[in-house]
Amino acid sequence: MKKHLITLIVSIILFSCVDKSKQDANKIIDNEVVTLIINQLPNTHDFSKDIYISGDFEGWSGGREQFKLKNKNTIYSIDIPKYRKTINYKFTLGNWETVECLENGNPIENRMYSFTKVTDTVKVNIANWSNSKQKNKPSTATKNVHVFVDDFNIPQLNRKRKVSVYLPPNYHTLKTHYPVLYMQDGQNVFDTKTSYTGEWEVDETLNKMYNETGFQLIVVAIDHGENKRLNEYSAWDNEKYGKGEGNLYLDFLVTNLKPEIDKAYRTKPDNKNTGILGSSLGGFFAHYAAVKRPDVFGKSGVFSPSFWYAKASFDFTKKHPNNSKYYYLMGEKEGEEMVENMNEMVELMKSSGFSKHNIYKKINPNGTHSESFWKTEFEQAITWLFIDN
C-alpha cells in the first residue's frame, strides 16, 4: 500500500512538472515580440517629429499614442508583441495624411510580419512621407462620382461623416431605378487623392462593366471615422481597443443615411437590391450588418474579415440564420489565422441554417491584405452578388 502511495505521489509531482513546463512554453510563445527599427528615412525627415506604427492589430487608426516609436539618438524603434500570428501595418507621422509612401509619393503595399520566433528584429527603410503637396495632385475619381454630404450627421454617435456617391453613366438620361451598394472606408473607394493606401477603382470598374454588359449600380461610400474606425466597425467591446459601436453605426446606416439616399436618388430600396461591402474591419462590419439586418441588406461583400477582433461574432451569427447572399474573400498571404477564422465562420453558417446556395467563399493564394488585392476582386464579387442567381 505504501509503495502504491509513493508511486502515486511521484506521478503527481512528475505530471505537475510536465504541466508547468507546458505552461512555461505557452507563456514564452505568448510573449513573442518583434522589434521594428527604422533603418533608413527620407533625407528631408524632421527628427523632431514622432513616428507611429498603425495596422490591423490596432484598427488602422493612423497613430495611437501607445504605438509611438521610441526615438533614441535619431534611431526610431518599437517592440510589437504577438497580438496575432500575422500583422499588417504601415508607419505614419501621426495620421493617414502623413503615411509612408514611395519616393514619388504613390502609395505602398501594406507591410506584413508573421511571428515565428520568440524574439526577432526587423529593419525597415522608409522612402518618403505623404504630405499636403502630394495631396494637391489631381483627383482620380471619375465624373460620375460626387460628394453627397461633406458632414452627414451621425446622431447615434454625435459625429459627422463625408458620404460620396457613384451614379451609373446613364443615370441622368434614363428614368430607371437602380440597386445600391453601401461601402465602408470611403476614402479608399474612388480616389487616390483621398486614399492613404491606394484606391479600389470602384468607379472605373463599374464604368467598364456598364460599357461591356450594361450592368448599373449606385455606390454609396462612407468615410471611416479615423481613430473611431475600429469602434464603429465592431458591435462588440474589445479589452484592448475599447467599446464597440457597430450597433449604433449600423442604426445610423439604416435609420438615417439609407432613407436620405432613397429620397435623393432613384433607388430600388428593397433588401434584394441593397448590398453592403467592406474589407478588413469593414468586412467584419459588412458581415455583421447583413446578419443583424437581412431585412435591409440582402447582399454582403465580406473581404478579408477581421473575425479575430471579436469571437462573440461567431455565437451571434449562429443565432441569426437568414437568406441574404454572402461573398467571402481572403488571400492566403494574409496569414493562417485570418484564413482559418473565415473558414470557421463559413462552415458555422452552413451548419446553422444559413442558405448554402447563398454563400460563396474564395481564397486567393496570392492575395494580400491590401487595396491592390481587393480592387482586382471587386468585379467578380459584385457579379456574383448582384447579377448571378
pLDDT tens per residue across span 229-281 = 889 999 999 887 789 999 999 999 999 999 999 999 999 999 999 999 999 99
Q: How far apart are CA 193 and CA 144, in angstroms?
A: 16
The average pLDDT across 370-375 equals 94
CATH 2.60.40.10 placement within the chain? 31-133
Strand order in the sheet with 159-166: 145-154, 159-166, 218-222, 180-183, 274-279, 299-303, 325-331, 359-364
Pick among 2.60.40.10, 3.30.70.1710, 3.30.70.370, 3.30.830.10: CATH of 31-133: 2.60.40.10
Confidence band for 135, pLDDT divided at 50, 70 and 90:
low
Which residues fall within 8 angstroms of residue 3, CB to CB, at 6 or more apart?
none
Strand order in the sheet with 119-125: 70-72, 75-81, 33-40, 119-125
Check if the beta carbon of residue 229 is closer than 8 Å to that of residue 60. Answer: yes
Whole-number pLDDT of residue 137: 72
Nearest to 312 by CA among 278, 290, 345, 289: 345
Which residues fall within 8 angstroms of residue 114, CB to CB, at 6 or more apart?
85, 86, 335
Whole-number pLDDT of residue 133: 56
pLDDT tens per residue across span 22-74 = 333 333 346 899 999 999 999 999 999 999 999 988 878 888 899 999 999 99
CATH 3.40.50.1820 placement within the chain? 138-387
Structure-block grid coordinates of residue 99: 503615411
pTM of the model: 0.83
Mean pLDDT of the chain: 89
Domain 138-387 -> CATH class? alpha beta
